[in-house]
Structures are given as structure tokens and as C-alpha cells.
């Protein structure tokens, strides 16, 4: 039975996950509006997304500090930083200031979400670890749905797309109410007693036996992001430009697909706690691969919405598996650094580069072929997991992190 303290912790951490989903969907749903207001073409829109996403790379420097200053303190800092940056995005007078504020928002938001994953992995038991990481991913999905529901309404209001970012003030209010429920994790406190100064250096992790594992995990994140990020970011552009969707039809399709997919995402964490991470990866990565190919091949509202359901489910569920693996495969004293290097630095190159490359290609050749081709990255990531990762289900972190 979950303790009252654990319930408060999950509720607090859910704020981070909720606004990660909300913010991620926001830029995809207002991108056509931003391009129209700021006079951007497809390539420039891709450049805007890529510049903002560079913040994902720089979030590395913030996340790695969790191994020095603790999970709880950095979590509060990132939520405050995200709130301020998001509000400023809403009052940005031009595309340059908007890009800059969103750039900083992305730094804080992605660090915040990864810290929440690390916190959960250290605070909850091995038999339920996947479930709680999956729960946070499900809450992230709720944030996506909330944004999808609000965007059509808020776009019609006096401030248009800016209203979407004004809502970002909510996390700051949540901190003021419940921040005392987040205390430092026991595993971090225990590990900190034995920490030496060298372990805090920038390149320390590359001097450890975990460097090979770090490279593998980072490459898997890179391959995954190269597909999942761009296929979602540009789905609306593709649907409107090549399948004749209106803005309302595209919003309806994404909202409907998200509502249907979300309940199943909540069960993924519990399922991989039962059947194992690698077996779960085979199922989830296969679903995502097939959905990407079909989503950018078929025509018509209902066929595209049908495959979008599996696409959203697959993208959300893949994150549960990779977040779980990343948290489990490294020891506590370098877990923050490992997450920072693998997800936020190496992996995010796929996140940053794929939108600009795909946007450049789409200018002359359209969206369909290039977007469906990214499915190969998911397939390659699955092969690496199957051949190079150990099975970690129902094992304590001290065992899962052993080489």
C-alpha cells in the first residue's frame, strides 16, 4: 500500500510530467500559426524547432548537478525556471525572443522531467519501479490531451496562441503549495556519504567502466528521438499539406488518438514489471515502427487517426522502457550524469537535428517519404536493446547497475 508521503511525492512529480506533455504538444499545434504570424517557411519552421531543441542538449549541464546537489533541490529549481521561461514565451514580441524563451523553457523542462524519473527510480521498490515510471508517462499523456483540448479554444481568444503559454504559471503555484513533500531520496543520501570530489567532474563518468554502456544507451536514445520527435512534430503539417486536413480536423485526430491511446500507456509500466523490459521492448518498438510507416502512407481521416493512436501509444510507451533502462543501468552516484549524457546530450542530437533535416527535405519533396523512413531508427534501437542490454525486471538498483 502506498504511503501518504509517497502519494504526495507522486502528485508533485506529476506536475513535471504533465507540463512536459503539455509543452511538447503546444509547439506542434501552434507551429502553423507561428509560421504565419512570423512569416516563416517550412525550413525556417524546422530551424525554429531545432533551435528550441538545442535547449535539450544544454539541459545536460543542469541535470548532471543532481549528483552534486541532490534530486529534490534541482527539481524545485527546474520547475521555477520552466514557469518563468514559459510565461515570457507568451509575451514574446517576435520570433527571436520567442525562440530564446522557449529555448530556456526546454532546458528547465527536460531536466525537470528526467529528475522526476530518477527520483521515482530511487524512491520506489524494484517490483513497482516500472509502474511508477509508467504512471509519470501516463500523466505526461494527460498533459498532451489537455493541451490538445485547450489549443482550439485558446487560439480563438484575444491573445491567440500566447494564451497557451500563460497557463505555464500553474507549476509555480504547485511548488508554493506542496514543495515540502519532496525530500531527498534515501539512495542519494547514502551514496553521497561515499562521494569523492573527482566524481563531480564533467568527464568523470568516461573514466569509469560504464563508458561503453553509456555510449550504447546514448545511441539508442538518439535513434529513438530521430523518429519519435519529428514524426509527431510534423504530423499536423503533413496532414494539412498532403492529406487535405483542416486545422480543426488535425486537432480532432490528434485529440481523439491521444484520448484512446492514453489509458493503455498507464498499464505499460506494470506490464514490463511482469513480462520484463526486453520482451516489452519487442512489443512496443514493433508497434511504433509499423505505426510510423502506416501513418505516412494511408489517406483519409479515419485511417490516419487509427494509426496515429498506435503512434502516440508507441512513442509514449517507448519512453517508459528507455527511462526505466537508463535509470536502472547505472549506479546511484553517477545516475544523474548518466541520464544527462545519454538522454540529454548524446540522445538529443537526434531530437535537434532531425526536424531541421526533415524540414529541409520537405521543402522540395514533401513530408510523407522522409517521415515514414524514420521508422528504421526505431528498428535499429530495438536490435541494440535485445543484443546489448541485460534484463533488469524485479532487481534492486544495486544489481541492475552491475556490469
Domains defined for the chain, CATH in brackets = 7-179+201-400 (1.20.1250.20)
Which ranges of 247-374 would DSSP assign to H, the alpha helix?
247-275, 277-295, 301-328, 332-339, 348-365, 368-373
The DSSP symbol for 94 reads S
pLDDT of residue 203: 83
Residue 297: which residues within 8 A CB-CB, separation 6 or more? 368, 372
**pLDDT, tens digit, for every residue of 266-296?**
899 999 999 999 999 999 999 999 999 999 9
pLDDT of residue 82: 87
pLDDT of residue 172: 64
Residue 90: which residues within 8 A CB-CB, separation 6 or more? 159, 162, 163, 164, 165, 166, 168
DSSP count for the chain of H helices, then E strands: 19, 0
pLDDT of residue 1: 44
Instruction: Enumerate residue ranges in the chain where pLDDT < 70.
Output: 1-6, 171-172, 174-181, 192-200
Render the burial of 187-216: b for 16+ CB within 10 Å, e for the rest: bbeebeeeeeeebeeeebbeebebeebbeb
How far is CA 67 from each of CA 22, 127, 197, rounded to the nearest angstrom? 28, 25, 11
pLDDT of residue 372: 94
pTM: 0.83
pLDDT of residue 386: 97
pLDDT of residue 290: 97
Amino acid at each position: 500500500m502506498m504511503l501518504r508521503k509517497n502519494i504526495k511525492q507522486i502528485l508533485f512529480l506529476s506536475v513535471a510530467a504533465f507540463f512536459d506533455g503539455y509543452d511538447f504538444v503546444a509547439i506542434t499545434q501552434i507551429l502553423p500559426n507561428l509560421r504565419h504570424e512570423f512569416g516563416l517557411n517550412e525550413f525556417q519552421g524546422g530551424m525554429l524547432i531545432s533551435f528550441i531543441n538545442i535547449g535539450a542538449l544544454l539541459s545536460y549541464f543542469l541535470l548532471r548537478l543532481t549528483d552534486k546537489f541532490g534530486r529534490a533541490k534541482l527539481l524545485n529549481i527546474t520547475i521555477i525556471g520552466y514557469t518563468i521561461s514559459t510565461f515570457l514565451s507568451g509575451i514574446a514580441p517576435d520570433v527571436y525572443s520567442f525562440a530564446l524563451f522557449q529555448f530556456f523553457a526546454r532546458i528547465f523542462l527536460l531536466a525537470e522531467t528526467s529528475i522526476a524519473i530518477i527520483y521515482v527510480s530511487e524512491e520506489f521498490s524494484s517490483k513497482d519501479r516500472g509502474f511508477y515510471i509508467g504512471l509519470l508517462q501516463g500523466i505526461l499523456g494527460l498533459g498532451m490531451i489537455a493541451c490538445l483540448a485547450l489549443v482550439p479554444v485558446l487560439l480563438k481568444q484575444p491573445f491567440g496562441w500566447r494564451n497557451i503559454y500563460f497557463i505555464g504559471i500553474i507549476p509555480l503555484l504547485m511548488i508554493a503549495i506542496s514543495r515540502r513533500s519532496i525530500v531527498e531520496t534515501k539512495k542519494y543520501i547514502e551514496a553521497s556519504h561515499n562521494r569523492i570530489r573527482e566524481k563531480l567532474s564533467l568527464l568523470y563518468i568516461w573514466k569509469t567502466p560504464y563508458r561503453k554502456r553509456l555510449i550504447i544507451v546514448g545511441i539508442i536514445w538518439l535513434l529513438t528521438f530521430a523518429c519519435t520527435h519529428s514524426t509527431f512534430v510534423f504530423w499536423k503539417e503533413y496532414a494539412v499539406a498532403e492529406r487535405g486536413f483542416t486545422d480543426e480536423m488535425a486537432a480532432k485526430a490528434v485529440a481523439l488518438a491521444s484520448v484512446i491511446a492514453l489509458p493503455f500507456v498507464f498499464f505499460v509500466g506494470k506490464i514490463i514489471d511482469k513480462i520484463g523490459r526486453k520482451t516489452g521492448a519487442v512489443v512496443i518498438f514493433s508497434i511504433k515502427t509499423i505505426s510510423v510507416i502506416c501513418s505516412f502512407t494511408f489517406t483519409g481521416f479515419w485511417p490516419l487517426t487509427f494509426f496515429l493512436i498506435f503512434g502516440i501509444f508507441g512513442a509514449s510507451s517507448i519512453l517508459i522502457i528507455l527511462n526505466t533502462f537508463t535509470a536502472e543501468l547505472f549506479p546511484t552516484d553517477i545516475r544523474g550524469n548518466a541520464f544527462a549524457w545519454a538522454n540529454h546530450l548524446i540522445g538529443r542530437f537526434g531530437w535537434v537535428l532531425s526536424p531541421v533535416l526533415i524540414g529541409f527535405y520537405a521543402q522540395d519533396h514533401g513530408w510523407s517519404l522522409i517521415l515514414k523512413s524514420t521508422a528504421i531508427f526505431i528498428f535499429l534501437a530495438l536490435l541494440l536493446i535485445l543484443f546489448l542490454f541485460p534484463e533488469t525486471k524485479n532487481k534492486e538498483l544495486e544489481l541492475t547497475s552491475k556490469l
